[in-house]
């Protein structure tokens, strides 16, 4: 085992579990849309990069790719509905069917703001696909249209998720040892 894997308390969701769940979500999305839709898959970088890459390949529909980098101002975003857009989309989403792809929903603040921004720009529809959900930490109401797994309130890394920019390349979702971040 390489050194950085020693920082993992245990594997929460294995590579195989992720693979089959992502396939199921891709099948569901492929059924929910048709040729009338003009789908844009929007990956929220960097966390969703791996989930995005796997999920889009499981969707049997023509679609476009775009990416955003956003961070919320925390609690301040709840009332203002504002997030800090660090990388803007390339395309105008007006009239498009947007599928937002995110790694994990925690407080829900970030994605609830991004959803509102997409609707405000005149998207025809906005759906949210998230690999993971930590419902215990939710601060705002948020519908997740396509969800991979509900997780306990632990700090998770791997399959795109980081701690201090590390561990994103682990092929599974693991629980980070507390001693690493405490
Ligand atoms: P929120 O839902 O606005 O609180 O923000 C969710 C964001 O917080 C995600 O996109 C992640 O970047 C980050 N995040 C939340 N929980 C975790 C975790 O357990 N591991 C790594 N990143 C996390
Ligand atoms: Mg993120």
DSSP codes, 54-110? HHHHH--S-EEEEEEEEEE-TTHHHHH--EEEEE--SS--TT-EEEEEEEEESSSHH
pLDDT of residue 31: 98
- Residue 78 sits at φ, ψ, to 5 deg, of -60, -50
What pTM does this model have? 0.96
- The pocket around ligand 1, CB under 6 angstroms, is made up of 47, 72, 102-110, 155-157, 161
Residue 143: phi and psi, rounded to 5, are -85, 130
Two tokens, residue 70: 């956003």
In a domain, 162, yes or no: no
Closest C-alpha to ligand 1, atom 10: 104
**Residue 1, pLDDT score:** 53
Q: Per-residue confidence of the chain (182 residues) as pLDDT tens digits?
A: 566 889 999 999 999 999 999 999 999 999 999 989 999 999 999 999 999 999 999 999 999 999 999 998 888 888 887 899 999 999 999 999 999 999 999 999 999 999 999 999 999 999 999 999 999 999 999 999 999 999 999 999 999 999 999 999 999 999 999 999 99
* Residue 2 confidence (pLDDT): 63
CA distances (Å), origin 66, targets 2, 43, 90, 111, 181: 34, 6, 7, 16, 32
How far is ligand 2, taken at its centre, from the CA of residue 46, in Å?
A: 6
Distance CA 29, CA 69 (A): 23
Q: Is residue 172 part of a domain?
A: no
**148 falls within a domain:** yes
CB atoms within 10 A of CB 142: 18
CATH code for the domain in which residue 139 is found: 3.40.50.2020
Is 81 inside a domain boundary?
yes
107 part of a folded domain: yes
Q: Which atom of ligand 1 is nearest to the CA of 162?
A: 21
Q: Which residue's CA is minimally distant from atom 15 of ligand 1?
A: 106
Give catalytic residues, as residue numbers.
Answer: 106
Question: Is 98 domain-assigned?
Answer: yes
Domain extent, residue 33, equals 15-153
**Residue nearest (by alpha carbon) to ligand 1 atom 11:** 104
What b/e string do you get for 105-114 counting C-beta neighbours within 10 Å, with b at 16 or more?
A: bbbbbbbbbb
Backbone angles phi, psi at 80, to 5 degrees: -80, -25
User: Which residues have a Cβ under 8 Å from the Cβ of 60 and sit 6 or more positions away?
Assistant: 26, 30
The helix/strand count (H/E) of the chain reads as: 5, 9
CA of 36 from ligand 2 middle (Å) equals 31
Q: Please tell me the total count of domains within the chain.
A: 1
* 182 occurs within a structural domain: no
Please report whether residue 61 resides in a domain: yes
């Amino acid at each position: 085992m390489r050194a950085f894997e020693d920082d993992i308390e245990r594997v929460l969701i294995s590579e195989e579990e992720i693979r089959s769940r992502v396939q199921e979500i891709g099948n569901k999305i492929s059924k929910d849309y048709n040729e009338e839709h003009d789908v844009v898959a929007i990956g929220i970088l960097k966390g969703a990069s791996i989930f995005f890459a796997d999920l889009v390949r499981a969707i049997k529909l023509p679609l476009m790719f775009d990416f955003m980098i956003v961070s919320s101002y925390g609690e301040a975003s709840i009332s203002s509905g504002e997030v800090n857009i660090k990388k803007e989309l390339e395309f105008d989403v007006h009239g498009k069917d947007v599928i937002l792809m995110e790694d994990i929903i925690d407080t829900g603040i970030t994605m609830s703001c991004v959803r509102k921004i997409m609707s405000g720009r005149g998207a025809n529809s906005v759906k949210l696909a998230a690999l993971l959900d930590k419902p215990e930490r939710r601060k705002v109401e948020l519908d997740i249209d396509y969800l991979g797994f509900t997780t306990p309130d632990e700090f998770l890394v791997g399959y795109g998720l980081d701690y201090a920019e590390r561990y994103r390349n682990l092929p599974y979702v693991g629980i980070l040892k507390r001693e690493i971040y405490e």
